[in-house]
Each structure stands twice: as C-alpha cells, then as structure tokens.
C-alpha cells in the first residue's frame, strides 16, 4: 500500500524538475522549479510535505522566513497553512527601515542577506525556506541573521537539495526538508559544515520523523566551485 | 451590517502598509508590504479579495502570472486558491531554456521582462499579479509578453496602487484589483495608457463586479518621474 509520502511523490513527479546545462553560465546545471509552480497539484503536494514535516518536527513555530526570490514562491504558502506570519530575507538594499544584515562569501565576492530589524523578535521560533540548497551560503547567512536577532531556528526547508553535482541525475533531485543544527565551533561566513542532514535514500526515509536530526555532514565541496554564485 | 468586503478590509487594515520616505533613494516614498505578509489573517484577507474578484470577473482563468520578486509572494497563494498553475515573469537572465522577453523603459535606462517560451500556450487565459502599481512599466511589459505568446490577459491584480503621489496618504493605499484592457492604438514600451481602472472611493466600489471595466485612464504622469525605477 502506498504511503502518504509515496502518494505525494507521485503528485510531485508529474511535473519534473528540469535540468538545464550551462545556465546561467558554462558548467552550471540549473534546476528549474517552474514546472512545479505551474502544476497546482504538485505545488500543493510540496506544501503538504513541508507542512507535515514542520508540524511533526518544529512544534510551536511562529514565523516562516523566506529567501529572496524563489523562497518567496513557497514560503507564504507554508506560512498560510500553518497560520503564521511570513518574513522576507532579501538581498542587501531592498528592505526599508532599520535592518540587520549578514555578509557571506560567494565564489567571486561577497553578498549580504538582510532583514528588517523588527521582523523577528528575540525568542521567536522560526523555520527558514528556500527553493534550492547548493552551497548553503544564503541559508547559512540567514541562520546567522536569526541568531543576531535572537530568534530560534527550528529548521531549514528546501525544495531541492543538490547533494553531489558529479553524480547528479533526475534521481538526485529530491524535495528535502532539512533539519538544522548549529555547530558548536566557529564557522566561516558561507561555510556549510553547519548543514547536517538525514541521508536520503527514499522519500519515506527523508520524512520519517523519528530519524535523528543529525547523522552526517552535508558535503558541499564538490558543489562549492560550481554552484557557488549561480543561484542567487 | 458590514459587507464581506468591509470585514476583509478590517482584517487587512490591522496590519498597516507602512510608508518609508527617502527609500531606496531621496524623494521616494516606499510602501512596505512586509506587515501584511507577517499577519496571516491580513494575508488571507488579501488573497480572499483577489480570489473573489477573479472568480467574479475572470471566468475560466487558467494561469496566474506573477512578477519578480514581490509578485511571487502573492501569486502562488492565489493560484492555489484557484487550483491553477503559477508562471514566473522574471528580470532578464534569470530563467533557463528558450525565453521570450519584452524591453521597457525605466527612468534611467531599459529593463526586460522575461518568460519561458513554454510557460503559457496560445489562447490560455491568464491574470497577472504584482505587489504594487506605480508607473505600470513592468505590468505593461508583462501584458506585451502575454500578447507575444498569444495568451489572453483577463486582468491585472495589484495589492497597492499608487494613484497620485502628491496626495498620497494612508487613505490612498488600497488593495486593488485592476481590470485590464489593451488600448487599440500603439503604445510605447513602458507607456501606461493601457492601464485603465475603476475610480476607487471605497472598498466596496472597487469590488462591485458589474462596474464597467474601463471608466477612466490611470494617471501615471506624476508618479512616473518619482517612482519609475524605484520599485523593480
């Protein structure tokens, strides 16, 4: 009998996540989520998965924090399901009023993730959402922003996780919900060792709620050189 | 007895649309929609209004087309309510695969709105959504894109319409659903005479479904010089 996750997977797989080679520049394989957005059943299935996972593993979440710009496509949908607010993290210079920002390293330079100072309160429990996790630079910076604001990050959610570019094929493109854990030691801005995730072999595995949250380190070495500046 | 629109208005007004002067540059009054996103009841009320208006006036809509990046915050929510797909119009260079684009004039230069060629099909009925209508340049370009793809624009939806900057105050910030009509004559790229809207005196007036769609021309002369390049 198909599990609820398998049923959801079937819904999502109807619309492929397409891969485009050499976009936006040579050597980059771009994962295109547009077909998901265009298929209302697939999009609903994605949000179902997010919602279930958050309800199971992030009790008491008070805000969904979404990343500019493709995190905006999924974040408000999840926030509405949970009946909580949605907060925008934007590229530097887009948000009015007093802001807090965190710089992070891209392959060729720096970028800054910014939030309005009054967007989150000290102690508030948040989950962070984006479309795709490649190097994790932006997600990491956002977690740092949350720390700065004394908010508590309960989890990070992404639609696609690029686990290993070398071996990447359609079967490597998975909807993921990442558990989040800060490492104890110091981390360089843009460093990704803070991202630790459940090994993913099937949908069901990835969503079993009682799997320990931290099992292995998310490896980004391979991805770093290729994807680093391409998705933001 | 309060109408359903008044009830919704009450919900939305709980979270103000904030105005920030001199952002992002001197002389600009920036309308900040973040408080709406942060208030789940207000956001739901906005989407309620959009949904009702579309159901009343845009029968048979097949796709919601949203503009980069704040149109992404509202578009997928509306699309899910209507159980139709969502299509992204992005700034030039962000979308992979074959694309179509339309250039439009900003105050100091040109911009391009781009869509994936296979995103809409000839004859498909679409509504276009964005957060704010100032000069209408981006919305106009998107309508032109839809024409290029032979899709039919049933309506344009914005959360905020800046009607007249000189007289702008809190009571000028309204949630609007714009009827859309192409003018017969030629239009310069970035020109806004294609935007004609219902005069707005109260919420109820703006949402009476049997008001003729084209009553007066949306005036953008005042806004053009000030807001032209500030919101994209």
Q: Which helix (H) or strand (E) holds B31?
A: strand B29-32
Please list the active-site residues of B. 70, 107
Name the residue range of residue B208's domain. Answer: 4-86+123-231
* 3-state DSSP of A159-223: EEECCCCCCCCHHHCCCEEECCCCCCCCCCCCCCCCCEECCCCCHHHHHCCCCCCCCEECCCHHH
pLDDT at A45: 82
Residues in chain A with CB shorter than 8 Å from the CB of B97 are 18, 20, 23, 32
Residue B28 domain flag: yes
CA distances from A152 to A85, A108, A125, A186 (A): 15, 31, 5, 18
Q: Which of B40, B70, B77, B116 to mutate to test the interface with A (most CBs of A within 10 A)?
A: B40
Q: How far apart are CA B38 and CA A115, in angstroms?
A: 13
**Integer Cα distance of A94 and A77 in angstroms:** 22
H/E stretch holding A25 reads none
Q: What are phi and psi of A56, to 5 degrees?
A: -75, -40
Active site positions of A, annotated = 70, 107
Domain count across chain B: 1
Considering the domain boundaries, does residue A47 fall inside one?
A: yes
Judge whether A100 lies within some domain: no
In a domain, B93, yes or no: no
Residue A30 lies in a domain: yes
Indicate whether A113 belongs to any domain. no
User: What CATH number did the domain enclosing B20 receive?
Assistant: 3.40.50.2020
Q: State the residue for tokens 């976009």.
A: A23
Token pair listed for A20? 């485009």
Mean pLDDT over all residues of chain A?
68
Range of lowest pLDDT (A8-22, A80-94, A103-117, A208-222): A208-222
Per-residue pLDDT of chain B (232 residues; tens, 9 = 90+): 444 555 555 455 545 678 888 888 887 778 888 988 999 988 888 888 788 878 887 889 999 999 999 999 999 999 999 999 999 999 999 999 999 999 887 656 688 999 999 999 999 999 999 887 766 678 878 888 998 999 988 888 887 766 544 333 333 333 444 443 322 222 223 333 223 333 222 222 232 222 222 222 222 222 222 222 222 2
Considering the domain boundaries, does residue A110 fall inside one? no
In 10 A of CB B217, how many CB atoms? 13
Quick check: is B115 in a domain?
no
| pLDDT tops 70 at residue A202 | no
Selecting from B20, B73, B97 the residue whose C-beta is nearest the C-beta of A76 gives B73
Q: Is the pLDDT of residue A133 over 90?
A: no
pLDDT at A159: 78
């Amino acid at each position: 009998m198909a599990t609820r996750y398998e049923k959801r997977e079937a819904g999502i797989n109807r619309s492929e996540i397409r891969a485009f080679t050499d976009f936006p520049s040579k050597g980059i394989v771009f994962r295109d989520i547009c077909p998901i957005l265009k298929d209302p059943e697939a999009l609903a299935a994605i949000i179902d998965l997010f919602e279930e996972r958050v309800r199971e593993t992030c009790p008491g979440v008070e805000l969904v924090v979404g990343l500019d710009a493709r995190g905006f496509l999924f974040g408000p949908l999840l926030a509405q399901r949970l009946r909580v607010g949605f907060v925008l993290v934007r590229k530097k210079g887009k948000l009015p009023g007093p802001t807090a920002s965190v710089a992070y390293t891209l392959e060729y330079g720096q970028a800054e993730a910014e939030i309005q100072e009054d967007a989150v309160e000290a102690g508030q429990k948040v989950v962070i959402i984006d479309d795709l996790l490649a190097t994790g630079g932006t997600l990491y910076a956002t977690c740092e922003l949350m720390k700065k604001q004394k908010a508590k990050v309960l989890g990070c959610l992404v639609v696609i996780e690029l686990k290993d570019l070398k071996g990447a094929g359609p079967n490597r493109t998975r909807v993921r919900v990442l558990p989040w854990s800060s490492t104890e030691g110091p981390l360089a801005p843009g460093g990704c060792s803070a991202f630790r995730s459940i090994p993913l072999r099937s949908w069901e595995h990835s969503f079993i709620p009682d799997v320990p949250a931290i099992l292995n380190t998310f490896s980004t070495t391979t991805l770093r050189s290729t994807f680093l500046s391409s998705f933001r």
